[in-house]
Structures are given as C-alpha cells and as structure tokens.
Amino acid sequence: VEYFCYDLRPGYLDPPAGGSEASSPGTTAPLPFAWEKLGEFSCDPVRRAAPHNRVVVGRIRRTANSSVQANAQPSRPAPR
C-alpha cells in the first residue's frame, strides 16, 4: 500500500506527518509510519469556507529498509 486516506472531522487535527513521535494535545494519534499529505477534500453536501467533513489523502514515505521488505516474496509453506 502506498496511498491511504482518512476522515478528518471537526475537532480533530492531522496526525503528525513524521511518523510515531510524540504529538501535541488534541492531535489525532500518530500513524505508525512516515507519510506526506497529498490533498484534503471536502465531503460536505454544502460548500462552506471551513468544511465539516473532509477526507485527507496521504502517501507513505518509504525508506531504503522498508522498500526491501516491500519487494520481498511472500513465504510459502514447504511442499509435503
């Protein structure tokens, strides 16, 4: 998985983009990986200056170590 999305509702803040470091009060729980925000889209049925319901699209930042794991073949059970 390279891209993901999440709901951003009133009163919630974006999770920290740097991964799992400590967050400030009121921040959504940190995600267990480094990521970058690509876009934020309103899902309100009515256009507002500050939408109530939004969806954020992000991309996982791969490190050299995680790309090796992503390219690894899944393990198969030994033949009988």
pLDDT tens-place string over residues 44-72: 888 888 888 889 999 999 877 654 444 44
Q: Residue 33, SS3?
A: coil
pLDDT reported for residue 49: 86
User: Tell me: the pLDDT tens digits for 17-35?
Assistant: 555 455 555 566 778 889 9
Give the pLDDT confidence score for residue 60 in this predicted structure.
Answer: 94
Output the pTM of the full model: 0.59
The region that residue 19 occupies, defined by phi over 0 for left and psi between -120 and 50 for alpha, beta otherwise, is left
